[in-house]
Structure 1
Amino acid sequence: MTNWLPDVFGTRKPVVAMLHLDAMPGDPGYDSTAGVAAIVDRAKRELAGLQEGGVDGVLISNEFSLPYLTKTEPITAITMARIIGELQTELAVPYGVNVLWDGRASIDLATATDAKFVREIFTGVYASDFGLWDTNVGEVARHRHRIGAAGVKLLFNIVPESAKYLADRDLASIARSTVFACKPDALCVSGLTAGSPTDTQSLSIVKENAGDTPVFVNTGVRAHNVAEQLAVADGAVIGTTFKHDGKFENEVERSRVEELMREARAFRDAL
């Protein structure tokens, strides 16, 4: 596999920012009084801060749909499609989507909104905070083919948050077999929860066993460690760090985006 990242993002070692959407209709945290319009308004504010701060791409997800479903209700992806439609004229960087935690719905949403990539849990069986989590990558791969979504890049999160792989297998073998059998476009390595540090040793193990498949560090990147993480990874997905005071629930703060992107660009320029 050739490294497709420069073709999509226009740079090596891209920084992809999370655009966290507020709770959707049907979610416990949904504000039915403010409605979907309020979700759109916040998304527009945060998108502006991320893009003006210099990120290379954005990943739009229903991050506040807690607790997550492993097979989402139709209203979630439908509402996200409306929101992305209202953001289209303001999206100036490549974007992806993630309907948590539903790979099939993520691919459907990407196809409907012309997103370049998705990130999801496509393989494995897990004991998780959301119950027993069983995936079916073969079915999802065939669905992707049927709907003409071969051009949508699939980022496989092989160290999912809030979950543990049930099989007694080491991370190196998981990375090798996932690449061989499932043909991911990239692998993502995470910490325990959003914003939690990603173990550098785990990141290195996945990178060493992924062959030519790009590897993203998926959580816990900060301005002070972005160079260290990008020295191993081929890119980074960053959300909580960009929020006011570095807190998951807060809105994006442009100055924090600019600070991290200065460090990322300095590292890339020195390569």
Structure 2
Amino acid sequence: MNDTPTTPAQRRRWETLFPAPKPILAMLHLGGADASERLERARIEAAALRAGGVDAVIVENYFGDADDVRRVLEALTVGQSDGVLGLNVLRNTELAFALAEEFPVDFIQIDSVAGHLDPAADDEFATRLAELRAASNALVFGGVRFKYQPVNSGRPEAEDLALGADRSDAIVVTGEGTGMQTDLEKIERFRRALPETTPLIVGAGVTDANAAEQLRDADAAIVGSFFKDTYLDTGVVEPAHVERLMRAVAAIRAEL
């Protein structure tokens, strides 16, 4: 068990941001044929996700680019105050923090905060991440042993998790790929290795059928593919799928 727990202030910020247990954070993949379509689809999908009861929406340049992210953030925030908003700028952490300074972003997701770099590069990464976090009001949700990320640290998994907990406000765990169920043993292993006060987020593969198992040892889930009409990242958000998962989560919450 890591001896550097999430601070009480960090935990209070998590609980303030997500007053309901087992929050569901919905991913906007920014799909579309061009910038105009990506923006319009993001508007429609964000509205459908929020109407369906998700606890947060995450803007991610999965299909779009940095300009698309900026346009969508502006569309979802200018003149609006409702809804928890997250941001994941793939391959550009510096830009994520800059955008979080410009727009009312509540949290930044970073696919890997420990384990993906060799020790020399990791020291530089950790120093810069600490600087960015100190200057930002956004929480950081960091991946360890995340999908598609290399493992180059040479450290045991538990040591990378300890570092990850120190570098972020919550840890994100995934399986091997987008939309693929996260192995239950991996979730349990991460939970055992992390401080009890550090939130653990399942970052892939949660469905209405497996939500109870996936969330048993986790505090939250990031959901993208299941919400799509095709159950694939390339699809569009289907409100009926949002309703199905949130109904399953409501049943889980009722038993807590």
TM-score, length-scaled by structure 2 = 0.86
User: Deviations along 1:32-87, whole A, 9 cap, x unmatched?
Assistant: xx4x222110101111221111111111101115xxxxxxxxxx434422221112
| Residues 147-162 of structure 1 mapped to structure 2, 5 A cutoff | 148-149=135-136, 151-162=137-148
CA distance in 1 between counterparts of 2:74 and 2:147 reads 29
Q: Kindly state the Cα deviation for residue 91 of structure 1 after the two structures are TM-superposed.
A: 6.8
Task: Look up the SS of the partner of 2:25 in the other structure.
Answer: strand
- Change over 3 Å in CA distance of 1:228–1:8 after alignment to 2: same
| Aligned partner of 2:89 among 90, 95, 99 | 99
Task: Look up the SS of the partner of 1:245 in the other structure.
Answer: coil
Question: Which residue number in structure 1 is paired with residue 130 of structure 2?
Answer: 141
5+ long unaligned stretches in structure 1: 24-30, 66-75, 128-132
Q: Kindly state the Cα deviation for residue 270 of structure 1 after the two structures are TM-superposed.
A: 0.8
Q: Which moved more, 1:213-222 or 1:203-212?
A: 203-212
| Aligned partner of 2:115 among 124, 139, 150 | 124
Question: Which residue number in structure 2 is paired with residue 7 of structure 1?
Answer: 16
Question: Which residue number in structure 2 is paired with residue 196 of structure 1?
Answer: 180
| Aligned partner of 1:20 among 25, 29, 37 | 29
Task: Look up the SS of the partner of 1:10 in the other structure.
Answer: coil
Task: Look up the SS of the partner of 2:141 in the other structure.
Answer: strand
User: Deviations along 1:105-163, whole A, 9 cap, x unmatched?
Assistant: 21111121110001102333359xxxxx9771211221343xx31x2100011122212
Q: Kindly state the Cα deviation for residue 171 of structure 1 after the two structures are TM-superposed.
A: 2.3
Question: Which residue number in structure 2 is paired with residue 85 of structure 1?
Answer: 74
Q: Which moved more, 1:156-165 or 1:256-265?
A: 156-165
Q: Report the residue type matching 2:30 in the other structure.
A: L
Task: Look up the SS of the partner of 1:237 in the other structure.
Answer: strand
| Residues 248-259 of structure 1 mapped to structure 2, 5 A cutoff | 248-259=233-244
Query: Following superposition, which runs of at least 4 residues in structure 1 exceed 4 angstroms of deviation?
Result: none
Q: Kindly state the Cα deviation for residue 101 of structure 1 after the two structures are TM-superposed.
A: 2.2
Q: Kindly state the Cα deviation for residue 231 of structure 1 after the two structures are TM-superposed.
A: 1.0
User: Deviations along 1:91-112, whole A, 9 cap, x unmatched?
Assistant: 7320110100222221111121
Q: Kindly state the Cα deviation for residue 245 of structure 1 after the two structures are TM-superposed.
A: 2.3
Q: Report the residue type matching 2:142 in the other structure.
A: F
Q: Kindly state the Cα deviation for residue 21 of structure 1 after the two structures are TM-superposed.
A: 1.1
Task: Look up the SS of the partner of 1:228 in the other structure.
Answer: helix
Contact 2:115 2:145 in 1 (8 A): no
Task: Look up the SS of the partner of 2:230 in the other structure.
Answer: helix
CA distance in 1 between counterparts of 2:241 and 2:31 reads 21
Question: Which residue number in structure 1 is paired with residue 222 of structure 2?
Answer: 237
Give me the identity figure in percent.
Answer: 29
5+ long unaligned stretches in structure 2: 1-6
Contact 1:97 1:117 in 2 (8 A): yes
CA distance in 2 between counterparts of 1:14 and 1:91 reads 19
Question: Which residue number in structure 2 is paired with residue 62 of structure 1?
Answer: 61
CA distance in 1 between counterparts of 2:132 and 2:162 reads 24
1:108 aligned onto 2:94: no
CA distance in 2 between counterparts of 1:223 and 1:257 reads 9
CA distance in 2 between counterparts of 1:126 and 1:136 reads 8
